[in-house]
Amino acid sequence: MPIFPISRRRFILRSLSLVTLFCATLDVRAAGASYQAGRNRIWPQNVVKAVQNKLSEMGYEPGEADGLYGSKTAEAISAFQRDKQLKVNGKISEELVATLLQADQID
Q: Terminus-to-terminus CA distance in the chain, angstroms? A: 67
Total domains in the fold of the chain: 2
Please indicate, yes or no, whether residues 52 and 72 belong to a single structural domain of this protein.
yes
User: Checking phi first, is residue 44 left (phi over 0); if not, alpha (psi -120 to 50) or beta?
Assistant: beta
pTM of the model: 0.62
Beta strands in 10-79 (DSSP E): 34-36, 41-43
Question: What is the domain range of residue 87?
Answer: 34-106
Q: What confidence tens digit (pLDDT) does each residue in 63-106 have?
A: 999 989 999 999 999 999 999 999 999 999 889 988 988 876 65
Please indicate, yes or no, whether residues 62 and 26 belong to a single structural domain of this protein.
no
Whichever domain contains 69, its CATH number is 1.10.101.10
Please indicate, yes or no, whether residues 71 and 88 belong to a single structural domain of this protein.
yes
Altogether, the residues listed in the chain come to a count of: 107
